[in-house]
Structure 1
Amino acid sequence: MRLPLTLAALLVAGAANAQQAPSTDQPLLRTIAADVDPKALESTIRALVGFGTRHTLSDTRSDKRGIGAARRWAKARFEAIGKDCGGCLTVETPAQTFTGKRAPNGVEVMDVLAIQKGTTDPNRVILIAGHIDSRVTDVMDFTSDAPGANDDASGVAAVIEAARVLSKHRYAATLVFAVLSGEEQGLYGGKVLADYARAQGWKVEADLNNDIVGNSRGQSGVMDNTHVRVFSEGTKAVETPEQANSRRYNGGEVDSPSRNLARYLDGLADRYLTNFDVVMVYRTDRYGRGGDQVPLLEAGYPAVRVTEAVENYDRQHQTLRTENGKAYGDTIDGVDFAYLAQVTRLNTVAMASLASAPAPPAGVKIEGAVSPDTKVSWSPTPDAAGHKVWWRGTTDPTWRFSRWVPAGDTATTLKDVVIDDFFFGVSSVSADGWESPVVFPGAAGSFESAVTAPAINK
């Protein structure tokens, strides 16, 4: 069968150029994945559950119960990990006071951050986050036991374990391990983190928000321990009307930096994890619900939400009780530690890969109207040995074809690849094969979009 001209050109271009690029296989990522310890994750969750409640409005002075004790415990864990890595972690506790519907009398919301400074590109930052606060059915009940084993001690456990594993190695970019407060009262911890990132002048390349990541049995009884959902916004929260008009006409609805970050995680799972895959969900969050990635998106930073494949709502936001023989409440027996370890492996592999790769390329553009060919161009990327130009059909979910372009060239022409029929992107690749996420052309896909926004009730 004779292939259509365009498809033949795609296959020839991809095959001819793939051989010239550095190998992107990274044995270090398999080492990092293997180092994740389910028992360490369980130990963290048991410690957090032991504080009784971690409600944002709960006791901050006790050493045994409440949000204050839990935050101090997390800070001590980060300090211990930092000591083990020779002082590679700096621990910070940014805080703001908020007043709102779920905090009518005002409350100080404090985050606990462990920062591992990058070796050559320290202003570029990769974040992982989980929220330490918990709740029961009544969101204003701050005295009842609220173990929050899965929502979200599981996410905090992933953050702390990621710090332990990743601190054994060094990376070009900075890693930030974030334990957030105030999520259940209004996503306040995410706002504190976004404001802190802006104040530090960080170029946040990715925020991996882990929220409800430890359960593998759904409410209907369905078991799924081989998938995790990654939610990502389609169009940027900070998009201007002019940018929206351009995007509506030329495309980009499914190519925000957050969406291409989700594709990046999916590819890493395929290559480095065993029997574990990413389900990309084309939504910012679950339907009608939210998480701490939202304030990061509203500040213009790429962010995704990582959440288990099947949820059990009898174990979320529930007062501890038994009704008609059914137990309600977010208790530790609902956590699958082997599954949580897989989710943590995905996070650690992604953070190491992102922080080791060059920055995503800037200034990506395409040209080719009324032409049989497409020209793709970009600005030079520091520390890149070259770039990959990617393209895919407009209905393909993931990038399909690529061409290697060595450093020194900042443009290439794809012969017989018609601009009308494909979406295009560019990634940066180092000499030793570390590759950035793909960047879609123009404002819709740019990773450089952080904006200044006023703090809330600071």
Structure 2
Amino acid sequence: MVIPVVVPMNRRDLLLSAPAFVAALLPALASSKEIRPYPLQHKRSEDAKGRYMSQLNKSKTLDQRIVQMFARIDSTRMMGNIQTLQNFGTRHSLAPSIGQASAWLARKFGEYADSQDAVKMQPFQMPQGPVLNNVLFNSDTAKPSFILVCAHYDSRAHLPERFDQPAPGADDNGSGVAMLLELASILRGVSLKRGVLLAAFCGEEQGLIGSQACAEVAAKENWPIDLVINLDMIGFASPSNPLSIVVEFDQGNAHPRNDASAKSFALRVAQMAADYTELTVEHTNIWSSDYMPFEAVGFPCVGLYDKGGDEAFYHTSKDTIENVNKGRMVAVAKLLTASVISICELTEA
């Protein structure tokens, strides 16, 4: 599977924003249409549609190969990566530190790569702004189809246009990015029937700009994506219901024909929660995050979410690592690992 890139303003801008080992891999540039900001909502639980609680029970037998994979989960590593992301001060899409964050992500993904071309920068033009980068990691290009697991690495504080405010973004969305990196580590050397593409998007807080750029290319190039799994705020454990996780799925958005497939995948994820974790699953429609551009071009989408949008720290300088629960991160890592392996299927030894 070849991952194309989206076009920057010019090659000089691209080389300034990408690590040298990645920039050397980029193909010739082409034109791309202007991306308009997607209208976002404050993600309050009371505004979610299609809400209901999962009623699935634990299966009688478990896949011990999945259980054995849990030994690869490292909570200290996940929390350390969240701390590093927080230490950038802000990861606002227009702040100078955003280039440092993307370069760090590329290096971290590179630690789990078996080949240099497994990590790619996907540049895109912010509306009336700079060229930024999505960071893509794909360790196995030989599979006929794949799932895309994504999280945005940018952050914001009170106002989406203010890049000079502290925006630590530990839960939103350092938690999702740390989970992407953890999945890269967990799956290293694991042979699956479906491929797994990991994508760290930028420009989410300004209207899903990076994910729109990626979805545009995916549709144009007919990427064989079977499912998109979005990780946006997954580390907060509410004192009133610390084991709750929202498993979102497409329910009648731009492409209703995807609804049945998305629901089937969401039920698979919910079953993995029942089988391998103590998490309780609530379902809602997908909304206001990076899966929306992919749904709009026809790909089935699900998401994991912790209801952090209801909390006072949401989109403030108080979204710090103290709001991220280490035990919850481990539980979500188990859920994601089990879901990916169940959906992508281990090959026979």
Please classify the TM superposition score into its range, dividing by the shorter chain length: 0.7 to 0.9
Q: Distance in 2 between matches of 1:88 and 1:25?
A: 36
Give 1:80-99 correspondences, 5 Å limit. Answer: 80-82=111-113, 86-87=114-115, 90-99=118-127
Q: Which of residues 320, 345, 348 in structure 2 aligns to 1:356?
A: 345
Flag the structure with higher helix content.
2
Aligned: 1:69 with 2:106:
no
State the Cα deviation string for residues 218-248 of structure 1 (Å, max 9, x = none).
xxxx333322101112125224xxx7xxxxx
Report what 2:84 is aligned to: 47
Q: Which of residues 311, 319, 331 in structure 2 aligns to 1:342?
A: 331
Q: What's the offset of the Cα at 1:331?
A: 1.1
Q: Does structure 2 conserve the Cα–Cα contact (< 8 Å) formed by 1:156 and 1:179?
A: yes
What is the identity percentage for the equivalent residue pairs of Structure 1 and Structure 2? 26
Q: Distance in 2 between matches of 1:157 and 1:291?
A: 17
Q: Distance in 1 between matches of 2:211 and 2:62?
A: 34
Give 1:435-454 correspondences, 5 Å limit. Answer: none
Instruction: Provide the secondary structure at the position in 2 that maps to 1:33.
Output: helix
Q: Distance in 2 between matches of 1:143 and 1:78?
A: 28
Aligned: 1:231 with 2:248:
yes
Aligned: 1:268 with 2:285:
no
- Cα distance change of structure 1 residues 88 and 170 upon mapping to structure 2, 3 Å threshold: farther
Report what 1:316 is aligned to: 314
Aligned: 1:117 with 2:140:
yes
Instruction: Provide the secondary structure at the position in 1 that maps to 2:171.
Output: coil
Amino acid at match of 2:282: V
Q: Mark the runs of 5 or more structure 2 residues left unpaired by the alignment.
A: 1-59
Q: Distance in 1 between matches of 2:212 and 2:135?
A: 13
State the TM-score, normalized to the length of structure 1: 0.59
Q: What's the offset of the Cα at 1:278?
A: 2.4
Q: Does structure 1 conserve the Cα–Cα contact (< 8 Å) formed by 2:233 and 2:308?
A: no
Report what 2:93 is aligned to: 56
Report what 1:258 is aligned to: 262
Q: Which structure: larger Rg?
A: 1
Q: Does structure 1 conserve the Cα–Cα contact (< 8 Å) formed by 2:137 and 2:199?
A: yes
Instruction: Provide the secondary structure at the position in 2 that maps to 1:196.
Output: helix
Q: Which has the higher contact order (CA 8 A, sep 6+)?
A: 2
- Cα distance change of structure 1 residues 185 and 309 upon mapping to structure 2, 3 Å threshold: closer
Instruction: Provide the secondary structure at the position in 1 that maps to 2:164.
Output: coil
Q: Does structure 2 conserve the Cα–Cα contact (< 8 Å) formed by 1:54 and 1:132?
A: yes
Q: Distance in 2 between matches of 1:88 and 1:29?
A: 28
Q: Distance in 1 between matches of 2:308 and 2:271?
A: 21
Report what 1:127 is aligned to: 148
Instruction: Provide the secondary structure at the position in 1 that maps to 2:289.
Output: coil
Q: What's the offset of the Cα at 1:259?
A: 1.6
Q: Which of residues 277, 281, 292 in structure 2 aligns to 1:278?
A: 281
Q: What's the offset of the Cα at 1:33?
A: 2.7
Q: Does structure 2 conserve the Cα–Cα contact (< 8 Å) formed by 1:92 and 1:114?
A: yes
Q: Distance in 2 between matches of 1:182 and 1:154?
A: 17
Q: What's the offset of the Cα at 1:185?
A: 0.3
Give 1:33-432 correspondences, 5 Å limit. Answer: 33-59=70-96, 66-82=97-113, 86-87=114-115, 90-99=118-127, 105-117=128-140, 122-217=143-238, 222-239=239-256, 255-271=259-275, 273-281=276-284, 283-285=285-287, 290-309=288-307, 311-318=309-316, 320=317, 329-356=318-345
Q: Does structure 1 conserve the Cα–Cα contact (< 8 Å) formed by 2:248 and 2:302?
A: yes
State the TM-score, normalized to the length of structure 2: 0.77
Q: Does structure 2 conserve the Cα–Cα contact (< 8 Å) formed by 1:55 and 1:135?
A: yes
Q: Distance in 2 between matches of 1:341 and 1:29?
A: 14
Q: Distance in 2 between matches of 1:29 and 1:88?
A: 28
Q: Distance in 1 between matches of 2:332 and 2:117?
A: 23
Q: Does structure 2 conserve the Cα–Cα contact (< 8 Å) formed by 1:171 and 1:352?
A: yes
Q: What's the offset of the Cα at 1:309?
A: 4.8
Q: Distance in 1 between matches of 2:195 and 2:217?
A: 15
- Cα distance change of structure 1 residues 276 and 33 upon mapping to structure 2, 3 Å threshold: farther
Q: Distance in 2 between matches of 1:230 and 1:274?
A: 14
Q: Mark the runs of 5 or more structure 1 residues left unpaired by the alignment.
A: 1-22, 60-65, 100-104, 244-251, 321-328, 358-429, 433-458
Runs (4 or more) in structure 1 with deviation over 6 Å come to: none
Instruction: Provide the secondary structure at the position in 1 that maps to 2:144.
Output: strand
Q: Distance in 2 between matches of 1:118 and 1:277?
A: 35
- Cα distance change of structure 1 residues 345 and 197 upon mapping to structure 2, 3 Å threshold: farther
Q: What's the offset of the Cα at 1:26?
A: 2.5
